[in-house]
Structure 1
Amino acid sequence: MKWDVIEVKVAGDFALAVRFQNGLEGAVRFLPSFFRGVFTHLSNLSEFQKVQIVDGVVTWLGELDLALNAMYAAIENSGEWLLN
């Protein structure tokens, strides 16, 4: 799918750079208010940095992932997706 992620890099504190299968690139930035509920432990930078791609999806241990369609739409529109 066009919104499969093929590359993810940590790009600063609580930010990612992603590249999609169709070549679209952008940033995903996380505000402190994002880290609640199942995502609480990702407020620890060393845990956040364990990001990986599984089957085209941005994922962390514990089967935590981000909504690809929402990420793609935001990056296509403004170059970044801000999560709060």
Structure 2
Amino acid sequence: MQYPKIKSASAIDNHTLIVEFDNSETKKYDISPLLNKDMFTPLKNPAFFKAVKVEQGGYAVVWNSEIDISEYELWKHGKAMP
């Protein structure tokens, strides 16, 4: 199955992303459960977390070359927004 690509992403607080997809849907994604994994530890820094970018092509949100979250994860586990 094809999942919508990410059009934009922004951090609204220290643990929550608002992600807009190319099918015009927007979802809220809480990264808190990921912070227990070593790979995501740097995201505990609010300034670093807010530096989120959309990977070219819309397949993930990224912070650096080692930290990313896929469009699949954001789409499947994000909460739909009205």
> Taking structure 2 as the reference length, what is the TM-score of the superposition?
0.78
Question: What SS does the aligned partner of 1:7 have?
Answer: strand
Correspondence for 1:72 among 41, 64, 75: 75
The runs of at least 4 consecutive aligned structure 1 residues that moved more than 6 Å come to none
The CA distance in 2 between the partners of 1:19 and 1:40, in whole Å, is: 24
Residues of 2 paired with 1:22 and 1:59: CA distance? 20
> 1:2 deviation in Å?
4.7
State the one-letter code of the partner of 1:21. Answer: D
Deviations 1:48-75 (A, max 9, x none): 1110011212111133211211321234
Q: 1:1-84 alignment to 2 at 5 Å?
A: 2-31=3-32, 33-35=33-35, 36-55=37-56, 56=58, 57-75=60-78, 78-79=79-80
Aligned partners of 2:3 and 2:72 also within 8 Å: no
Identify which range, 10-19 or 66-75, moves more after superposition. 66-75
* Matched pairs, number: 77
Q: Distance in 1 between matches of 2:45 and 2:4?
A: 27
How far 1:44 sits from its partner (Å)?
A: 0.8
Measure the CA separation in 2 of the matches of 1:28 and 1:46: 18
* Equivalent residues of 2:39, 2:66 under 8 A apart: no
